[in-house]
């Protein structure tokens, strides 16, 4: 009876974490000292969330096939990864304390436009799951009223 609500709750949690990671990326978009590697500061690296369906083991598929369990178990966050494929931006600023010999500063690989798109996607997914959760709650309430 509560399986649908549990699935929706897992999606709400995952989307909230996506929004938090996007907020972190936006907050560190100008941060040139993200971590210290071999005595040299590296700029902040964009992070992203990796989502995966819950219960994709053989036993869960066997239970679904034998009709002991409904299909779908929700979603889980498997990891938060750093974007190492997108290159850092090089900005000419010879006055900056992190400038190299030529006056260029390695800036984080955070693109504000991309982050806003990710934030809008996570927000819309969150809103859709809130709607599903409220609809499930309303159906359960109506089902309990029938029994009166």
Percent of the chain with pLDDT over 70: 89
Residue 118 three-state SS: helix
* DSSP conformational letter for 108: -
Q: pLDDT per residue over 3-44, tens digit each? A: 888 889 999 999 999 999 999 999 999 988 888 888 888 899
The per-residue DSSP string of 77-99 comes to EEEEEE--SSPPEEEE-TTSTT-
Q: Where are the domains of the chain?
A: 3-29+47-82+110-146
The model's pTM = 0.81
Q: pLDDT per residue over 95-114, tens digit each? A: 999 889 999 999 999 999 99
Residue 47 three-state SS: strand
Separation between Cα atoms, residue 77 and residue 13, nearest integer Å: 9
């Amino acid at each position: 009876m509560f399986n649908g609500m549990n699935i929706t709750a897992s999606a709400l949690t995952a989307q909230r974490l996506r929004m938090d990671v996007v907020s972190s990326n936006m907050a560190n978009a100008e941060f040139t000292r993200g971590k210290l590697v071999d005595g040299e500061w590296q700029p902040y690296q964009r992070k992203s969330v990796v989502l995966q369906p819950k219960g994709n083991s053989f036993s869960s598929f066997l239970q679904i096939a034998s009709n002991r369990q409904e299909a779908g178990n929700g979603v889980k966050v498997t990891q938060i990864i750093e974007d190492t494929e997108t290159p850092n931006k090089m900005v000419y600023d010879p006055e900056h304390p992190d400038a190299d010999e030529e006056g260029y500063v390695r800036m984080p690989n955070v693109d504000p436009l991309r982050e806003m798109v990710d934030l809008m996607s996570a927000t819309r997914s969150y809103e859709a799951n809130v709607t599903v959760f409220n609809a499930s709650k309303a159906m359960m309430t109506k089902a309990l009223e029938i029994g009166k």
